[in-house]
Structure 1
Amino acid sequence: MILTQLPAAFEAARPVLETIEAAGYEAYFVGGCVRDTILGKPLHDVDIATSAFPAEVKGLFKRTVDTGIEHGTVMILDHGNGYETTTFRTESGYQDFRRPDQVTFVRSLKEDLKRRDFTINALAMKTTGEVIDLFDGLSDLKAGVLRAVGVAEDRFHEDALRMMRAVRFASQLDFKIEPATLQAVTDNAALLTKIAVERTRVEWEKLLLGQTPVRGLNALLSTGLYQYMPLMADQRAALERLVALPAWQLTTVESAWTLLCWLTQRRSVASVRQFLKVWKTSNDLITHVTAAVVALAALQANGQLTSQENFDTGLDALTTANQVATVLGFGQSQAKLAAVYAALPIHDKHELAINGGDLLKHQLVTPGPAMGQVLAACLRAVITGQVSNEPAKLLDFARMVADSKNN
């Protein structure tokens, strides 16, 4: 196969490959960028593989960064772009099922491609657009089949994360995992416990956000792989409910975790936080999802949120909650929800027209817990429309609150 219309990213990288080739070495575009170009999907990265050893690559370019020199990877900086360029290599001795004990640089493209995970990712392409296919990856691409390169069990023993990548690609690409590869996932699923949570999480999130997540979820269930994911061993029923939902597709990581928390019966703030901490998500995501789950419960119970609930949730988390509610069958008009939120008197506590300094200046409170309690009461009063957000009126209200606390 020869691709005649190459994306601009390849054209920009062409001089890098031509420089390597002019020095007498081989150089190819490899992996996912070739696969996605054939499938007509947008490119995220352009990866290059070469027969030149790392020191030889560095000698050909003025600016390079050793991003993974021990594994043969050098970042070439060219015209404001960075290109990860990796020497052909073989690997051996995967005692931890994650990393090779030994990496050997070689000059053979075939030896390099045979260690890759799936045939559709074991494709190389010349600058001319000619695709090098040594493991029948093009046929699998055409058929929509995900197949391990060589013996599937060997590939999974080299890096157990490849099992998660298998179910993730099934979702992302809407591909079927061929029987021998699927059986190897089933037989080796327990090895997933050897993988860092962060690496598993990335694949899990991509699966949930795929174009056909149900395909990936079915593979996850049939192989039992889910049992070795953090806090998911007893969640088969929840995953089956996810599969059974009417056609759905999520667009954000936040909505994916919100839906998962909901279906696994994690509805309290404490349980959501504990779940997401075990998965080692960011604090920002934990805050967002916690707010979204609380709002989701209100939407289910009442079909709408109170002014205070709208304020506490925030528009971003409210949007997430409504997206998940729509998947679950009780979503509301997003435009209406956004309009209600926009109509709130204020959207942030810092917009309150008075602060602690004002309370002290007017001798309404002394420093301490009482100040916070009075400000909180003022904030609630403004949000609910009880008091307008004007300094004079708020100070009168604050005086009334303070007096009630003193009596």
Structure 2
Amino acid sequence: MFVYMMKRVPITGEFKKALPVLKKIQAAGFEAYFVGGSVRDALLEKPVNDVDIATSAFPQEIKKLFKKTVDVGIEHGTVMVLMEGESYEVTTFRTESTYQDFRRPDSVTFVRSLKEDLKRRDLTINAFAMNEMGEIKDFFGGEQDLYDKVIRAVGKAEERFHEDALRMMRAVRFAAQLGFDLEADTFYAIVVNAHLLKNIATERIRIEFVKMAMGKHLMQGMTGFIESNLYKYCPGLAQAEENLEQFAKIEKPINKERHVWVLLLYYLRIQNEKEARAFLKHWKLSNQLIKESTELHQLFLHRLLYDHTNATVYRYKKDLALDSETLLEQIGKTGDKNAVEQIDKNLPIHSRDELAINGKIILEEAERPGGKWLGLALEAAEKAVVTGELANDTTEILAYLKDKHYIS
């Protein structure tokens, strides 16, 4: 038996925009509800950016109801409905069979029961359903858990974690994001089943780890992550308990993913760029994020010892230089973003393209074939202009290159 919560959610914003989809399904004789994180966030009076809809209608029935649909996961009951310039994922109520790999169900069965559908969800605070009037159906005590600020698995925690071992990471992630505590039985089930995380793709673990690290209540999430031994089944962290305890003490919220990785590298005491790159690659980061993170890591380590100069701001660019100041503040030191802004403002050039000479001009003046020397000459001129040794003037730069014997 479900319990209607006393509190109603105002049907505004994303809910209001999606309401025509809900009503059209209901008008055809089916049940339809807003479900999942959007309902939880609305109850917590947090911003709702997108909504998911669950229905008793089967996928083919949804496809007949709407003119424009996309089969985004039809084998699992999900159809994307395109309506009035928006897209909405509509998923049929379903039950799932046993899980042989701790990741995916062996089979999915479509059902007409909302309760049966919500029983398979991970946490009580994610198992709400809301109708078109903003009334909340709560089968599993999620309202009380929101009030008590508790993370609790739906039903038997061990069963939920055997269905999808990533749910253990989701539990500690929500603890970090919401500032909630792990309920005792849920925490115990994570401790017992932490080893199952090794069955989960690193990419999926990484997403949850980053969300946890960027949560406003990092210590609460990291405490569960460490004490449950989940960390032992994450790339490169098996022997890093004390390092992670230091990482957990970061007080200011982390706002960028590359900051997560640089701070983690710092607390793991990884300084070598090659070692840092290997660690990040083990976590399956994109090449671009590895590049950004390793560059920022090297700049941050430099900044721990030295102030910024024209050369560092020019080389790493203003964004990374400002990031290095933010990272200093994250570890309790004093950053100086104003200094970065001032240096950047006063740089004579911001890229080699702005240099008053180029390879063609140098070749014409040198009257010799190009070669490795030409690149070295441009590099020398660039460095001299950036550091203020030279004005960014063609005649002055050519005279400098002659003096340095790059050209005769």
Instruction: Read off the aligned partner of 1:350 and give its amino acid letter.
Output: D
Provide the residue aligned with 1:104 in structure 2.
109
Provide the residue aligned with 2:334 in structure 1.
331
Q: State the alpha-carbon separation in 2 of the partners of residues 376 and 86 from structure 1.
A: 58
Query: Which of the residues 237, 253, 258 maps onto 1:249?
Result: 253
Provide the residue aligned with 1:391 in structure 2.
394
Q: State the alpha-carbon separation in 1 of the partners of residues 317 and 270 from structure 2.
A: 20
Q: CA deviation at 1:268?
A: 2.4
1:280-359 correspondence to structure 2 within 5 Å: 280-302=284-306, 304-359=307-362
Gaps of 5+ in 2: none
Query: Which of the residues 56, 63, 70 maps onto 1:65?
Result: 70
Is the contact between residue 374 and residue 402 of structure 1 (CA under 8 Å) also seen in structure 2?
A: no
1:3-402 correspondence to structure 2 within 5 Å: 3-245=8-250, 247-302=251-306, 304-363=307-366, 366-402=369-405
Q: State the alpha-carbon separation in 2 of the partners of residues 180 and 206 from structure 1.
A: 23
Q: CA deviation at 1:322?
A: 1.1
Q: State the alpha-carbon separation in 2 of the partners of residues 233 and 168 from structure 1.
A: 19
Q: CA deviation at 1:7?
A: 2.9
Q: State the alpha-carbon separation in 1 of the partners of residues 349 and 217 from structure 2.
A: 40
Instruction: Read off the aligned partner of 2:372 and give its amino acid letter.
Output: P
SS in 2 for 1:314: helix
What do the CA deviations read for 1:200-222 (whole angstroms, capped 9, x no partner)? Answer: 11111111110101100111110
Identity of aligned residues (%): 45
Instruction: Read off the aligned partner of 2:125 and give its amino acid letter.
Output: I
Instruction: Read off the aligned partner of 1:265 and give its amino acid letter.
Output: R
Query: Please, what is the CA RMSD of the aligned residues?
Result: 1.5
Instruction: Read off the aligned partner of 1:267 and give its amino acid letter.
Output: Q
SS in 1 for 2:248: helix
Count of aligned pairs? 403
Q: State the alpha-carbon separation in 2 of the partners of residues 211 and 329 from structure 1.
A: 17
Cα 1:346/1:403, change in 2 over 3 Å: closer
What do the CA deviations read for 1:132-172 (whole angstroms, capped 9, x no partner)? Answer: 00111111011100000011111111111111101100000
Q: State the alpha-carbon separation in 2 of the partners of residues 274 and 5 from structure 1.
A: 49
Q: State the alpha-carbon separation in 2 of the partners of residues 244 and 78 from structure 1.
A: 46
Q: CA deviation at 1:4?
A: 4.8
Q: State the alpha-carbon separation in 2 of the partners of residues 403 and 289 from structure 1.
A: 36
Q: CA deviation at 1:388?
A: 1.4
Question: More displaced, 363-372 or 19-28?
Answer: 363-372
Cα 1:365/1:65, change in 2 over 3 Å: farther
Question: More displaced, 328-337 or 147-156?
Answer: 328-337
Misfit runs of 4+, over 4 Å: none
SS in 2 for 1:301: coil
SS in 1 for 2:216: coil
Is the contact between residue 102 and residue 162 of structure 2 (CA under 8 Å) also seen in structure 1?
A: yes
SS in 2 for 1:362: helix
Question: More displaced, 371-380 or 172-181?
Answer: 371-380
Q: CA deviation at 1:10?
A: 0.4
What do the CA deviations read for 1:307-336 (whole angstroms, capped 9, x no partner)? Answer: 212212211111221111112122322122
Q: State the alpha-carbon separation in 2 of the partners of residues 69 and 365 from structure 1.
A: 67
Give the TM-score of the pair, scaled to structure 1.
Answer: 0.96
Cα 1:243/1:362, change in 2 over 3 Å: same
